[in-house]
Structure 1
């Protein structure tokens, strides 16, 4: 059924991406004060996956084929193990939550570049956006946060690239439908994150604080079940550029929350990088939004 028959569902899905995902960067920062980063990221996905799968089977949802299991497992690694795990590790290294969100705002740039693999040729305005985005990344790395943590910078850009590639590739694949897709991807991503946690020797030094438990619960319910489900729904119903439009809003939400609730400091280079990166993402999105508007007329 066309997505236009569900306007409230679309509005709710976009709201989940804009507001909930914008807030998860601060919640991750709170969480890593109590949890090892890979362990927390793995629990964030494995718990809802193990809750969802039996419920979906009881409701009659078809079990994925072997090929669908393979695809969802690989996508779980790209989107969650790398895409989210690397962000969690970067914040554990001390990168401010707002700066982490700003680095992930480069996802539409990577999405456009990976589109070349599927024959999607950028227009002149989009190439301008890519060039501007690269300038923004350079400015961001001049800021105090990423300059103090080169590994954190590498992790964040790897996360953005992996998320973009997985999002583009998913459009070409035979995947399970609905929440079965969500559960299978979270299962694959969560298993790999927990394995990485064990292999790197992560251990809980002491019992998590109340804030740590609250952060994990928030990430499971809102960040994973609700917002990630909304993202996968939008990937199936709108163009990738629209599905990744959260990149405009998340950095602003994350920066404001980080300043107000965590006392984070954002210097001049990082504010300038925000303006440049958001302008770049806007330039990249304009041609696709225009094409969608013409098609709707």
Structure 2
């Protein structure tokens, strides 16, 4: 196999290990100054709007209603609940050891939901997941595995939601290509921003003389949420 043929594989591995792997570290930094639900909502709203705008400018059309709603549901399961719960948990200073162990249960729950949906699983898959989970527990056994139990429960809920959404998403009709991701992020962003407003989250890190700026940011976020809801 030529080197050029391996470049896409190297790029995918780089994205998986470096970009995706650094997500939780970046979340940890972000929640030090941002409320968790608001931060996650702004993140997905911005990414979803940029991706949707890019696709529409490239000539892509919005999908039919059923695939669109399916994508919104998957966005709710994977991003709003799955990633949102992790963000809230990290705001509660859950130790990284606990987070790593709980998140490692996602493949296990995925296999369980696969069986419930009638998807055949192999014994080798169960063995591999058991070995991987045991390895993560061993790697973190020397660290701090005690902490806020509610934070661990939130991560567990997020892991279960992510696993269910992954399996259920393979059984329903979704928009083609990157359009599915755009709608998923938009839907998750809207839900998270609504949850943030209901929870009364505020950008308290802003200085007092920046109150007018804070008000402007809130107005922009509310309008952006409403516009996203209308588009969906």
Do both proteins adopt the same fold according to a TM-score greater than 0.5, normalized to the shorter chain? yes
Cα deviation for residue 110 of structure 1 reads: 1.2
- Kept after mapping to 1: 8 A contact 2:27/2:87: yes
- Kept after mapping to 2: 8 A contact 1:39/1:193: yes
Partner of residue 66, structure 1? 65
Stretches of structure 1 lacking an aligned partner (at least 5 in a row): 209-297
Partner of residue 213, structure 2? none
Q: Secondary structure at the match of 1:48?
A: helix
Correspondences of 1:157-172 after superposition (within 5 Å): 157-172=156-171
1:144 and 1:29, CA in 2 relative to 1: closer, same or farther beyond 3 A?
A: same
1:182 and 1:7, CA in 2 relative to 1: closer, same or farther beyond 3 A?
A: farther
- Please provide the CA RMSD for this pair: 2.8
Greater CA drift, 5-14 or 24-33: 5-14
Q: Secondary structure at the match of 1:41?
A: helix
1:21 and 1:33, CA in 2 relative to 1: closer, same or farther beyond 3 A?
A: same
Partner of residue 45, structure 2? 46
1:150 and 1:142, CA in 2 relative to 1: closer, same or farther beyond 3 A?
A: farther
- Partners of 1:170 and 1:6 in 2: CA distance: 30
Deviation by residue 1:163-206 (Cα, 9 ceiling, x = unmatched): 11111222222211222111111001111111111111111112
Partner of residue 87, structure 2? 88
1:62 and 1:10, CA in 2 relative to 1: closer, same or farther beyond 3 A?
A: farther
Cα deviation for residue 129 of structure 1 reads: 5.1
Correspondences of 1:21-40 after superposition (within 5 Å): 21-40=20-39
Stretches of structure 2 lacking an aligned partner (at least 5 in a row): 208-232
Q: How many residues align?
A: 204
- Kept after mapping to 1: 8 A contact 2:37/2:84: yes
- Kept after mapping to 1: 8 A contact 2:85/2:158: yes
- Kept after mapping to 1: 8 A contact 2:36/2:88: yes
- Kept after mapping to 1: 8 A contact 2:98/2:146: no
Partner of residue 239, structure 1? none
- Kept after mapping to 2: 8 A contact 1:25/1:101: no
Cα deviation for residue 143 of structure 1 reads: 8.4
Normalised by the length of structure 2, the TM-score is 0.77
1:141 and 1:38, CA in 2 relative to 1: closer, same or farther beyond 3 A?
A: farther
Partner of residue 190, structure 1? 189
- Partners of 2:133 and 2:16 in 1: CA distance: 24
Q: Secondary structure at the match of 2:22?
A: helix
Correspondences of 1:194-213 after superposition (within 5 Å): 194-207=193-206
- Kept after mapping to 2: 8 A contact 1:38/1:89: yes
Cα deviation for residue 145 of structure 1 reads: 5.1
Correspondences of 1:54-203 after superposition (within 5 Å): 54-97=53-96, 99-128=98-127, 147-203=146-202
- Partners of 1:14 and 1:124 in 2: CA distance: 26
Cα deviation for residue 97 of structure 1 reads: 3.7
- Larger Rg computed on CA atoms: 2
1:143 and 1:193, CA in 2 relative to 1: closer, same or farther beyond 3 A?
A: farther
